[in-house]
């Protein structure tokens, strides 16, 4: 069996949204302090025994995600043009963005978790 290392980091951002066609409170403008956890899987380590440096992973995720989503009204972000900015759709969009923009040798993005509240989250992967 081949080795597999899962490396994760977490970042936070704040943004607002409203859900189109939703029958409830979330149809109105409201905000969240989101927690994003990303998971990368690696099949090998470097000469130092590291899959990816945590500092590098965190910095790259921040560089890609925060300018697009932090302190934004998600309904107005081009990433969600024609897409209802539900937690599920936000997680899928972040996954697609990171898979394209945050790439490492020997491994790849396996999943993202987007926490809308301390008790509610969606996990998105394409396995």
Closest C-alpha among 30, 11, 10, 34 to residue 19: 30
List residues forming the annotated binding site.
17, 30, 32
Q: Whose structure tokens read 């990816």?
A: 52
Q: Is 73 a catalytic residue?
A: no
Which residue in 26, 41, 73, 113 is the catalytic one?
26
Closest C-alpha among 86, 89, 92 to residue 19: 86
| Cα separation values, 19 from 27, 43, 97, Å | 5, 39, 22
Token duo for residue 69: 């989503």
Query: Which secondary structure element, helix H or strand E, spans residue 52, and what is its range?
Result: none
Q: Are 15 and 32 in contact (CB under 8 A)?
A: yes
Which residue in 41, 55, 101, 116 is the catalytic one?
116
List residues forming the annotated binding site for Zn(2+).
17, 30, 32
Q: Is 55 a catalytic residue?
A: no
Which residue in 71, 88, 101, 126 is the catalytic one?
71
Catalytic machinery residues: 26, 71, 116
């Amino acid at each position: 069996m081949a080795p597999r290392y899962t490396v994760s980091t977490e970042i936070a951002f704040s943004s607002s949204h409203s859900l189109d066609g939703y029958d409830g409170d979330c149809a109105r403008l409201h905000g969240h302090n989101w927690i994003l956890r990303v998971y990368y899987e690696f099949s090998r380590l470097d000469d130092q025994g590291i899959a990816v440096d945590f500092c590098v992973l965190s910095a790259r995720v921040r560089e890609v995600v925060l300018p697009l989503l932090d302190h934004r009204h998600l309904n107005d972000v081009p990433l969600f043009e024609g897409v209802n900015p539900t937690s599920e759709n936000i997680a899928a969009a972040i996954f697609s963005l990171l898979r394209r923009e945050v790439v490492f040798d020997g491994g790849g993005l396996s999943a993202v978790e987007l926490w809308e509240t301390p008790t509610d989250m969606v996990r998105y992967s394409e396995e």
